[in-house]
Amino acid sequence: MYSAFCGFVAITSILLYFSNELPNLQNLKTEIRNPAVTIQTYDGKIIGSYGDLYEDVVNMEDLPKYAPLAFMAVEDKRFFQHFGVDFIGFFRAAYQNYVTRRIVQGGSTITQQLAKNILIAEGVVTYYDRSLSRKVKELLLAFWLEHKFSKREILMMYLNRVYFGAGTYGIDAASRKYFNKPAKKLTIFEAAVLAGLLKAPAKYNPTNHPNYAHERAITVLKAMEEQGFIKSAKDIENEQAKKVLSEETKQKQNYMYFCDYAYEQAKMILGDIEDDIVIVTTFDEKKQSRAEEAVDFYIKTEGTNYKFSQVSFICLSRDGAVQAMIGGNGYSATQFNRAVQAKRLAGSAFKLFIYGAALEHGYQLTDMISDKPVSIAGWKPKNYKWQTRGTLSVLDGFTYSVNAVSIRLAQAIGLSKIAKFAKKLGVYGVSTHDMSVALGTAPVTLKDLTAAYASFMDGMPIWPYCILEIRTKSGEILYQKSKEATVPVIDNETLTLGRKLLRSVISRGTGRAANVNEFMYGKTGTNGDSDAWFIGFYDPPSSPNSGFSLGVWIGNDLEKEKMVSNSTGGRIPARIAKMFIEQVLKPSGSFPIAKTDFLENEEKTSQTKSLGALLNETQ
Q: Using 50, 70 and 90 to split pLDDT, how confident is the model at 87?
A: low
SS3 469: strand
Q: CA 53, 57, 63, 68 torsion: positive or negative?
A: positive
pLDDT at 168: 81
Residue ranges in 128-246 assigned as alpha helix (H): 132-148, 151-161, 171-179, 188-197, 210-226, 233-244
Cα separation of 550 and 556, whole Å?
A: 20
Q: Which residue has the higher pLDDT, 18 or 358?
A: 358
pLDDT at 568: 94
Q: Which of 62, 93, 44 is nearest to 159 (CA)?
A: 62
Cα separation of 392 and 236, whole Å?
A: 70
Question: Is residue 7 scored above 70 in pLDDT?
Answer: no
User: pLDDT over 90 for what percent of the chain?
Assistant: 50
pLDDT at 89: 53
**Lowest pLDDT segment from 199-213, 451-465, 525-539:** 199-213
pLDDT at 12: 44
Q: Residues near 451 by Cβ (< 8 Å), separated by ≥ 6? A: 316, 320, 425, 426, 462, 463, 464, 549
**Lowest pLDDT segment from 248-257, 317-326, 413-422, 474-483:** 248-257
Highest mean pLDDT among 49-58, 374-383, 460-469, 534-543: 460-469
Q: Which of 207, 215, 200 is nearest to 178 (CA)?
A: 207
pLDDT at 534: 98
pLDDT at 613: 34
Question: CA triplet 505, 511, 514: central angle to 5 degrees?
Answer: 120
Q: Are 111 and 84 in contact (CB under 8 A)?
A: yes
How many beta carbons lie within 10 A of that of residue 417, not counting itself?
19
Amino acid residing at 434: D
Q: CA 213, 219, 222, 223 torsion: positive or negative?
A: negative
Q: Enumerate domains of the chain plus CATH numbers.
A: 63-251 (1.10.3810.10), 286-618 (3.40.710.10)
Angle between helical axes of 233-244 and 210-226 (0-180°, round to 10): 150
Cα separation of 370 and 355, whole Å?
A: 15
Beta strand 277-281 with 467-472 is: antiparallel
Question: CA triplet 595, 458, 422: central angle to 5 degrees?
Answer: 95
Cα separation of 480 and 503, whole Å?
A: 36
Pick left, alpha or beta for residue 569 (phi over 0 → left; psi -120 to 50 → alpha; otherwise beta): alpha
Q: Which of 395, 547, 584, 546 is nearest to 457 (CA)?
A: 547
- List C-alpha distances in Å: 359 to 103, 320, 362, 426, 593: 73, 24, 5, 18, 32
Question: Is residue 131 scored above 80 in pLDDT?
Answer: no
Residues present in the chain in total? 619
Considering only the C-alpha atoms of the chain, give the largest distance between any 2 of them, rounded to a whole number of Å. 115
Residue 47 φ then ψ, to 5° = -120, -10
377 burial (CB, 10 Å; 0-12 / 13-18 / 19+) is exposed
Q: Using 50, 70 and 90 to split pLDDT, how confident is the model at 562?
A: very high
Highest mean pLDDT among 96-100, 480-484, 511-515, 608-612: 511-515
Cα separation of 143 and 570, whole Å?
A: 70
